[in-house]
Structure 1
Amino acid sequence: MDIVQGDMMSVKYWDEEIETLPREGLESIQLSRLKKLVARMYKTVVPYREKMEAAGVTPSDIKSLADLAKLPFTVKDDLRDNYPFGLFAVPMDEVVRVHASSGTTGKPTVVGYTQDDIVLWSNVMARALTCAGASKKDMIHNSYGYGLFTGGLGAHYGIERLGATVIPVSGGNTKRQITVMKDFGATVLLATPSYALNLAETMDAMGVDPATMPLRIGVFGAEPWSENMREEVEAKLNIKAVDIYGLSEVMGPGVAMECLQSERGMHISEDHFLPEIIDPVTGEVLPPGSEGELVFTTLTKEAFPIIRYRTRDISRLYYEKCACGRTLVRMEKVLGRTDDMLIIRGVNVFPSQVEHVLMSVDGVEPHYQIVVDRIGNLDTMSVQVEVSEDIFSDEIRKLEKLTQFIQREIKDLLGVSCKVQLVESKTIQRSEGKAKRVIDNRKI
């Protein structure tokens, strides 16, 4: 995939032919690749063959994209049950790299890559970065963690494929990161949104004005974040903040990327990753524009392809052509996750909904934590949120009034009562990766 010729700063596409292909052409590519994928998985990966046989499906049954719904889902337990390499589709001597999840909820999920997979991933990430407005001329500061987590190395190889200069700083040592960004003249920042806010706060403490730096774009992902947090990050870092989506089981970062023109989500590289939206309860495929659980089938991966993987991410798909000219389907910014969703007295609550309320209140800092408990048989939810020093040092009556206002706003939006505690700035522990937004003390 060659980048469009011409002035590098005005490039819109990494692979214009694919990114602007009419729907019929995209679907033809998808169907051809899907048929080959299912046949190969049936032949080479025993657990997939067993699941297909149990569902009464064979590769010859896949005659149209609609037939994808005949295939069984893959869930995270399938990966854990076949830990570590039981779902790989190539011999281990063809695997050049493995990554794994943190394993905080059980055995880690392990994924593998052939050399061709690494090339594919690099191109997908280069496409994503171009979509975000980056080019060969950029100095890109990569604060995603390196190691078994896919973020750091996935982004790194994409930056190099793009031809830009990568600063492979990884996470942690925040003051040093700011010095490096300033001295090296970083123009693009890759990080989790919560760490971006941590950087902004530390810059302020160090007396560094982001407006004096050449930084212009922030590519943020790996955790859900609200539109209000986007505005907060943009204001504090003086940048344009764009959303990137990926997950280890599907590829890593670069599965979808927000363009500078889109007002309705991130473009999915659907020539490689075939998306569906399903009802998370029934598994039924939902029509375009419906809110539901995002499901992916990888069409081109060699070492670790996956069929109908239930991401647990809640989103929507939009198929209209974007203002940027891309025809690639867009996924709405992730609302939350079905497995992160809190059920409080029968009400579904996503942390991002709470964040949306908090970030719309003047004087509230972008650092909060939700604590869920069970007293007797009753679930309770409390929210600790930092406020600015001026507000925290204000008179008690004003603090009480602000507390009550936030409680009402949360109740009005979510339909659930909660206790709000205003705390002093810098009270809540900072994150150098994914922020821990929820502490659930219930024994469920």
Structure 2
Amino acid sequence: MKHAPEIEFKSKEEIRSFQEKKLNELLQYLQQHSPFYQRHFQQHGVAVAKIKTLEDLVNIPVTTKDDLQQFNWDFLCVPRSEIVEFASTSGTLGKPVTVPLTDNDLHRLAYNECISFACADGTADDLYQLMLTLDRQFMAGIAYYEGIRKLGAGLVRVGPGLPAMQWETIERLKPTTLVAVPSFIVKLIEYARQNGIDPNKSSVKKAICIGEGLRTGTDSLELNVIGKRITESWDIKLYSTYASTEMQTAFTECTQGNGGHHHPELLIIEVLDERGVPVKPGQPGEVTITTLGVEAMPLLRYRTGDIAIAYTEPCACGRTTLRLGPVLGRKQQLIKLKGTTIYPPGVFELLNDMTSIRDYVVEASTGELGTDELRLHILVSEDMKDDIRQRLSVVFQSRLRVVPEIYFATPQELEKLQFGKIDRKIRKFIDNR
């Protein structure tokens, strides 16, 4: 397979040996160049020379998002003069974190997306339409752009929003693949239906889905509500992805659709419980990563806050690498509502299942008694409000045993909530606790 690295098809023993060699190189690098990890090792009595295997990693205390926010520049391992690009996190869970990249880091980022798009059946013959921003320090935008160029494929930088312009571009330039948020693809389908456009007569054959979950958290990993809604109206192949700015690496599905494939030459992955111990196979845990090959700001045992399940059996595509299922929720976004524990994606799934709901935002806050409160900001047509309120009450009571507060928003109110001051991503969940 062109662009598919050999390491992803090696035996688990060969992959382990490869990663342990890279881990030891990383530890030496951090010991020499990272002010944060020099201090971290000293404070916790970590003898770098004694960390030989992947199992030995548990002897190193984890790094958290709080560490990265509080000591951002102490993680830098190169002189500022060597930084060629500054990216940043969106700040969804607090203060944004700056992630600088060297020229080699940019090449690594391009390699990561090149092999990721190739994993998702991408070839040099494809034309990708990018429905996302390439500015505002958004790492994913530059990663997709550089990765597609390295793949040898063509690309069209349309940016987010404006269904009319997206369809005009599809008709004029005939892209084969979309890179977009799943909920926006639903809006493209709605626009097509309202304007007499048949999506199935378009040139688009597949979509790389970013920013939102596409599959259920069950072992079947079948398409979730929003995935099914897309494929019922548009005969295209969907590929789910998972990534974060801090890890500078992506997990992307192959044609089998059984979870995002791990790139072992770029990342060591652990799935940990609350105590920082690896969970049993098939159990959900917090995705914890160690970056390999990053120069400017490498991370060691960094807890992402994302809860997911790892699958270790070989894939039918021939890869033997670990696969990561959909993010079940973010650890910091856990909501305890009237004795019931839920994550936002569980709420999204129920709302996505109601086709009468045109759009929504889920807002968590702290009540007068210090408990979690949940409000749904819903956009529906005027004549559907009473019906939707009743149906939502029944569905939430039967599925989650609690009923959130329901507020019917105007399009303007919802747009203000979704973007706020962060306009590079649509916000479906706002945490005001």
TM-score between both structures, scaled by the size of structure 2? 0.88
The letter for the 2-side match of 1:259 is C
Choose from 125, 134, 137 the match for 1:146. 134
**Shift in alpha-carbon separation, 1:371–1:99, aligned structure 2, 3 A:** closer
Show the counterpart of 1:408: 394
Q: Deviation per CA, 1:273-328: give whole Å up to 9, x if none.
A: 1111111x322221221111100000221222110111100101111001111111
**Secondary structure in 2 matching 1:86:** helix
Show the counterpart of 2:112: 124
Q: Deviation per CA, 1:341-386: give whole Å up to 9, x if none.
A: 222234322121112223334x434622223455542644333444
Choose from 363, 369, 379 the match for 1:371. 363
**Secondary structure in 1 matching 2:75:** coil
Show the counterpart of 2:314: 321
The question of 1:344 aligning with 2:337 is answered: yes
**Shift in alpha-carbon separation, 1:103–1:333, aligned structure 2, 3 A:** closer
Q: Deviation per CA, 1:8-52: give whole Å up to 9, x if none.
A: xxxxxx225222111011101100000110111011112101111
The question of 1:216 aligning with 2:211 is answered: no
Contact 2:8 2:264 in 1 (8 A): no
- In the TM superposition, residue 207 of structure 1 has moved relative to its aligned partner by 3.3
- 1:29-48 to structure 2, matched below 5 A, reads 29-48=18-37
Show the counterpart of 1:266: 260
Show the counterpart of 1:86: 74
Show the counterpart of 2:221: none
Contact 2:284 2:309 in 1 (8 A): yes
Show the counterpart of 1:354: 347
C-alpha distance in 2 between matches for 1:424 and 1:231: 27
- In the TM superposition, residue 237 of structure 1 has moved relative to its aligned partner by 4.1
Unaligned 5+ residue runs, structure 1? 5-13
Show the counterpart of 1:306: 299
Contact 1:194 1:433 in 2 (8 A): no
The question of 1:250 aligning with 2:239 is answered: no
The letter for the 2-side match of 1:121 is L
**Shift in alpha-carbon separation, 1:416–1:393, aligned structure 2, 3 A:** closer
C-alpha distance in 2 between matches for 1:335 and 1:240: 22
Please, which moves more after superposition, 99-108 or 207-216? 99-108
Contact 2:226 2:353 in 1 (8 A): no
Unaligned 5+ residue runs, structure 2? 216-223
Choose from 287, 311, 314 the match for 1:294. 287
C-alpha distance in 2 between matches for 1:103 and 1:268: 25
- In the TM superposition, residue 426 of structure 1 has moved relative to its aligned partner by 9.7
**Secondary structure in 1 matching 2:425:** coil
**Secondary structure in 2 matching 1:157:** helix
**Shift in alpha-carbon separation, 1:21–1:427, aligned structure 2, 3 A:** same
**Secondary structure in 1 matching 2:141:** helix
Give aligned-pair identity as a percent: 27
**Shift in alpha-carbon separation, 1:372–1:111, aligned structure 2, 3 A:** closer
**Shift in alpha-carbon separation, 1:92–1:440, aligned structure 2, 3 A:** closer
Please, which moves more after superposition, 376-385 or 120-129? 376-385
Q: Deviation per CA, 1:228-270: give whole Å up to 9, x if none.
A: 111122334432221111111110xx5200111133x111112
**Shift in alpha-carbon separation, 1:116–1:86, aligned structure 2, 3 A:** same
C-alpha distance in 1 between matches for 2:412 and 2:188: 13
The letter for the 2-side match of 1:260 is T
TM-score between both structures, scaled by the size of structure 1? 0.86
- 1:42-61 to structure 2, matched below 5 A, reads 42-61=31-50
Contact 2:5 2:115 in 1 (8 A): no
- In the TM superposition, residue 435 of structure 1 has moved relative to its aligned partner by 2.8
Show the counterpart of 1:435: 426
**Secondary structure in 2 matching 1:364:** coil
Please, which moves more after superposition, 286-295 or 430-439? 430-439
Aligned length: 418
C-alpha distance in 1 between matches for 2:374 and 2:68: 33
Q: Deviation per CA, 1:389-443: give whole Å up to 9, x if none.
A: 6xx646x8xx44x5434323323332323244677999843777533223445xx
- In the TM superposition, residue 154 of structure 1 has moved relative to its aligned partner by 0.5
C-alpha distance in 2 between matches for 1:102 and 1:334: 17
